Amino acid sequence: MLAATIAFYVFATVLIGSALFVVSARNPVHSVLFLILAFFNAAALFVLLGAEFLAMVLVVVYVGAVAVLFLFVVMMLDIDFAELRQGFLQYAPLGGLLCAVFFLELAAVGFGWVLSPAMETAARYPTPADTTNTEAIGLIMYTRFVHVFQGAGMVLLVAMIGAIVLTLRHREGVKRQDVSAQIGRKREEAVELRKVRPGEGL
């Protein structure tokens, strides 16, 4: 019990510190690396809670795919971050207000969960005795929260389409694939027969 408590405080401290460095680091590559560290510590906290499946998903999906993708995008794109930070101060009051509202909502949810009468039972029996952790998550996600789960999927789909539309740029001098022109091409337009005499090139 003492070892689990010490591990919790160590992982939680490193998680909070790395999250602060994500938003405060000057170099965006360092921010992504601190984000990966935060993901690993969050996965360790999930393991302490007995949610091994969530820990594995966090490491495989977010660290192995999302964070690495962020790192490659930041390293490959030539972005002037100094220019992006020029208007930071004028948005600081609005950002502070949104952060305050966000933390108030988190506090309301946390206190509501702690003061709930069912909290003691939920903490004592986190999963049914005859099911595994992964099966319990699937039963809850696809029964009670199936509409929320589908709604989150639609939000992610819209975000993906929006990112594609925003990054799609038509620049001059860049060859692009035209499927209709390729399909409608005739043999006479693509093939040219030349009679080459011996000893002569084209």
pLDDT tens digits, one per residue of 59-97 = 888 888 877 777 777 777 666 666 666 666 777 788 888
Give the pair of three-digit tokens for residue 153: 């999927």
pLDDT tens digits, one per residue of 158-196 = 988 988 887 776 667 777 777 888 888 888 777 887 787
pLDDT tens digits, one per residue of 137-162 = 888 888 888 898 899 999 989 988 98
Give the pair of three-digit tokens for residue 155: 């939000």
40, 63 Cβ separation under 8 angstroms? yes
39, 63 Cβ separation under 8 angstroms? yes
